């Protein structure tokens, strides 16, 4: 049964591989037997270092700088992946940005900036990957949503909206491409220690409040998102499409943190 979770012979493209969840997933895909891992990130030096580390383990790699909000650049990057490695079997897209502000203080420019990356960027990846995978009639795509697709808090309006939108993009693509053998799913992380959440980690009260809200009483590490993501890419998830897999430490299951006496 363990073979179901392997990625042997698969070419995997990871966008956002320069740090955080993307870096962990790229390394994890190599360790699970991927024949090649194509690494992309807006930070070229960072992604080059990650790709170099994977290459040192004997797994074929390629890498490049990529802004997912640039439609033509995304199409070119994934096309180059096919040219370099001969095919493309799986695509993971992790980048996102957040501007934490109350709705009444949000500027139009800030709104556009978040939506440009989180929605337009993910749409660009989904569309470009979909063109390739539907032609070859196989493959898996994983976009990264969040617990914020279902629950939110003050200051998270546009980010939450964008993460809910990713789920609907995934569901729609899954219904359109299932007949072509292409599966599309979303990962729904809880609170994970990544560059995106560095602002929170630097505020002890804020960081601890999130940990206490979680039934596990802690944050996740990027490495803990690897298993759920690679499951969705693997043959073990051959009948899984159009859904979101939450890896949130029980965040969405908890309604308050008071434990009644005697429990």
Q: Any idea what the CATH number is for the domain that residue 231 is in?
A: 3.40.50.720
With respect to residue 251, please indicate whether it lies within any of the assigned structural domains.
no
Residue corresponding to tokens 């009483």: 217
pLDDT of residue 71: 98
pTM: 0.95
Strand order through the sheet with 36-41: 60-65, 36-41, 11-15, 90-93, 139-144, 182-189, 244-247
The vertex-79 CA angle with 236 and 69, nearest 5°, equals: 90
253 occurs within a structural domain: no
Does residue 187 sit within a domain? yes
Question: Does the residue 255 lie in any domain?
Answer: no
Residue 262 lies in a domain: no
Quick check: 23 pLDDT over 70? yes
Query: 61 lies in a domain?
Result: yes
Query: Is 168 among the domain residues?
Result: yes
Domain count, the chain: 1
Identify the active-site residue in 159, 207, 210, 239. 159
Least confident of 12-16, 174-178, 205-209, 243-247: 205-209
CA separation for the pair 199, 207 (Å, rounded): 9
Q: Look at residue 263 in the predicted model and tell me its pLDDT.
A: 54
Q: Looking at the predicted structure, is the pLDDT value of residue 64 above 90?
A: yes
Clarify whether 159 is annotated catalytic: yes
Its domain, for residue 130, covers 2-246
Res. 175 pLDDT band, cuts 50 70 90: very high
In a domain, 261, yes or no: no
């Amino acid at each position: 049964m363990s073979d179901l979770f392997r990625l042997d012979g698969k070419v995997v493209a990871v966008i956002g591989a320069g740090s955080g969840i993307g870096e962990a997933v790229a390394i994890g895909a190599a360790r699970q037997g991927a024949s090649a891992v194509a690494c992309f990130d807006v930070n070229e030096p960072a992604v080059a270092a990650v790709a170099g580390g994977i290459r040192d383990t004997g797994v074929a790699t390629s890498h490049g700088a990529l802004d997912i909000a640039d439609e033509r650049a995304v199409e070119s990057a994934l096309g180059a992946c096919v040219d370099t490695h001969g095919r493309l079997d799986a695509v993971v897209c992790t980048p996102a940005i957040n501007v934490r502000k109350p709705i009444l203080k949000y500027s139009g420019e800030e709104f556009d900036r978040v939506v440009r990356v989180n929605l337009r960027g993910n749409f660009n990846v989904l569309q470009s990957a979909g063109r390739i995978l539907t032609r070859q009639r196989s493959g898996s795509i994983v976009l990264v949503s969040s617990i914020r697709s279902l629950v939110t808090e003050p200051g998270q309006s546009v980010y939450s909206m964008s993460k809910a939108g990713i789920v609907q993009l995934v569901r729609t693509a899954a219904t359109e491409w299932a007949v072509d053998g292409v599966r599309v799913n979303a990962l729904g992380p809880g609170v994970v220690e990544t560059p995106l959440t560095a602002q929170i980690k630097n505020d002890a009260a804020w960081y601890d409040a999130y940990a206490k809200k979680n039934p596990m009483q802690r944050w996740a590490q990027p490495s803990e998102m690897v298993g759920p993501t690679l499951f969705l890419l693997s043959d073990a998830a051959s009948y899984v499409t159009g859904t979101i897999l939450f890896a949130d430490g029980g965040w969405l299951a908890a309604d308050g943190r008071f434990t009644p006496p005697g429990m």
